Structure 1
Amino acid sequence: MADDNEAGDFLWRRLERGARAPRVQLTHAQIAEAAIEMADAEGLDAVSMRKLADRLGVATMSLYRYVRSKDELLELMVDAAYEQVEIPEGADWRETLRARAWATRATYLRHPWLVRLGEPLTPAVTASADRLLATLDSTGLDADTKMVVLRTVRSYVNGIIAGEIELAELLRREGVSDMDELRHAYAPRMRWLLESGRYPAYRDYIRHGRRKDDTVWQFELGLECVLDGLATRLGI
């Protein structure tokens, strides 16, 4: 038997056509906001339909009248989060992609659970892609190349952000508050590795690197390199 999505009765179509309101009056925006607050505070694994229903003061079965599964709830959360990612109006392709990259980074750092969910096919995610593709219209690139440009920048942004989030999780697991404390905790292991003489290039970085903790500078430099490379390779 086909599931809801296979039958075409998915969340966003139901919202578009305006399903009959349940007795308990909630909005999908309220549901998304409450679920996002839970995920921000306790992590994505802490979000369940039962806990969310308790938070909203409704019966769990009432919540299922709005979202039919946890998968739909996660889509709702991602869509609401992507509504926060601003894209400037009237800027050229490079400035638009740069601004979108920084806005995405800020959103993911506010909601680190997003890195686990990717970009499902929701209205806000699709609207973002649509606007970015439209920004590239003036470049004269064909449709396939424009999508490669977007995916290249997105892959850089998502990869760097994932690393930042993993590092923050490592600090939490080690029970330290900053990189200096982490380096102190790891000092014996690091000293043993570097004194082995097997990793001279890495030892040079550890000894002479001055911007190890400057994640803003690192993100900016990498982003500009990606944009420079796209501009040069594609002549735009």
Structure 2
Amino acid sequence: MTNPTDHPEHVPDLPHAHAVTWGVAELPHRGPKRELTTERIVEAAIEIADAEGLEAVSMGKVASAVGVAPMSLYRYVTGKDGLLLLMYDTASEVTVPGAGSTWRERLREWAVFVRATYDKHPWLADLPPSSTPTTPNRLAMIEAGLAALEGVPAPDRMKLPTLRLLLGYIALYSKASSDAEVDDEVRRALPELVTDERFPLLAPAVRAGVFDTDNADDERGFGFGLSRLFDGIERWLERNELDEPLERMPSSILDDKQVRDAAKLVDEARGKLRAAEAKAADAVAQAVDRLRAVEAKAEAVAERDAAKAALKAAKAEAKAAKRGD
């Protein structure tokens, strides 16, 4: 938890869980089990989440872990939402050495250390970072990212979205690379379920075993994606141009019948196009085979004619030689 001496002298009223993270919460009422602390409660909850997942965390289970009745916890935390926020902030504590000499090296180091927190506490990915971090450790994480970008010729208002992009990537990659909830029977059935007709581009990769457990990410995937994000940032810095605002679509567009019908038509057209391309490729292959056969036949005829001519010439030469004798 945050050292109380680190917070400002005057702070506004905060929700209890936030006040705890900032070290400005009132002490719990005195009573039995005075040795119990908010820190111990949060620690127990994190241990449960690390071992069994975030969904396993309940006030009753945490109370049992620290040896008190569930109602006793409410003297320290206001409820499960408050507990989750305290867990989120505590598990987000990260120290970045900052040893890189370039912004890419420093930012890569920052990303690797942030990812380590997600490896240590995989459930963090179930609590995606908000656009406005409000707890000390999440803000410290952003501060460390800004330190990595110090000296980069970009305004802070653009550096912050850059860090949010990277945090989102780290959290999403952590979630997407976890196979904890994948049923082995379903995995084995994928080569049959993912057909060429429905997934023409993905099906060959699935048959080749791209989703097999022995093809798990060997760290190249995360590094590749991170480097490509850095490439984009670097290109943006070189351009030194403001991007055009991207207009947000109304969410109701997902249910619009005309849009859905149009997307269906496009999907059908793509299917027909793929079928036409396959037919064209087959026609080309057949034509190549046919033309090669014609060329081979022509070459054979030419070789046969050349052999006949050579034989005829040899006979004529032999006949002339005999007359000369």
1:110-147 CA-partner distances (Å, limit 9, x unpaired): 32221221235211001111221233231121111111
Deviates more, 1:150-159 or 1:73-82: 150-159
Give a deviation string over 1:73-110, Cα, whole Å, max 9, x none: 00111112111x33223434322321232233333233
Q: Which residue of structure 2 lines up, in the alignment, with residue 233 of structure 1?
A: 236
Q: Which moved more, 1:13-22 or 1:139-148?
A: 13-22
Q: Distance in 2 between matches of 1:137 and 1:110?
A: 28
TM superposition score normalised by structure 1:
0.78
Partner of 1:187: 191
Larger Rg: 2
How does 1:4-153 map onto structure 2 within 5 Å? 7-14=13-20, 16-17=23-24, 19-21=26-28, 22-23=30-31, 24-83=34-93, 85-91=94-100, 92-119=102-129, 121-153=134-166
Unpaired segments of 5 or more residues in structure 2? 1-11, 241-325
Moved over 6 A (4+): 208-211
CA distance in structure 1 between the aligned counterparts of 2:219 and 2:232, rounded to whole angstroms: 20
Q: Which runs of 5+ in 1 are unaligned?
A: 1-5
Task: State the TM-score, normalized to the length of structure 2.
Answer: 0.59
Question: Which residue identity lines up with residue 219 of structure 1 in the other structure?
Answer: F
User: Which residue type is aligned with residue 202 of structure 1?
Assistant: L
Distance 1:204 1:61, change over 3 A: closer
Cα displacement string for residues 27-68 of structure 1 (whole angstroms, at most 9, x for unaligned residues): 333222110111122222221112211210123232111111
- Residue 7 of structure 1 deviates from its aligned partner by 4.9
Q: Is the 8 A contact 2:53 2:123 kept in 1?
A: yes
Q: 1:87 is matched by which residue type in structure 2?
A: V
- Structure 1 Cα separation of the partners of residues 25 and 127 of structure 2: 26
Give the conservation status (yes or no) of the 8 Å contact 1:87–1:96. no
- Letter of the aligned partner of 1:106 in structure 2? A
**Pairwise CA RMSD of aligned residues?**
2.8
Once residues 17 and 166 of structure 2 are traced to their aligned partners in structure 1, the CA distance between those partners, rounded to angstroms, is 29
Question: CA offsets, 1:190-231, max 9 Å, x none?
Answer: 4xx03x4x5443244346687953351111111111112111
Whether the 8 Å contact between 2:96 and 2:110 is mirrored in structure 1 is: yes
- Is this contact kept in 2: 1:29–1:80, CA < 8 A? no
Q: Deviations over 1:158-202 (max 9, x none)?
A: 22222113x3311xxx1x3xxxx7653433324xx03x4x54432
State the structure with bigger RCO (CA 8 A, min sep 6), 1 or 2: 1
Q: Distance between the aligned counterparts of 2:123 and 2:210, measured in 1?
A: 30
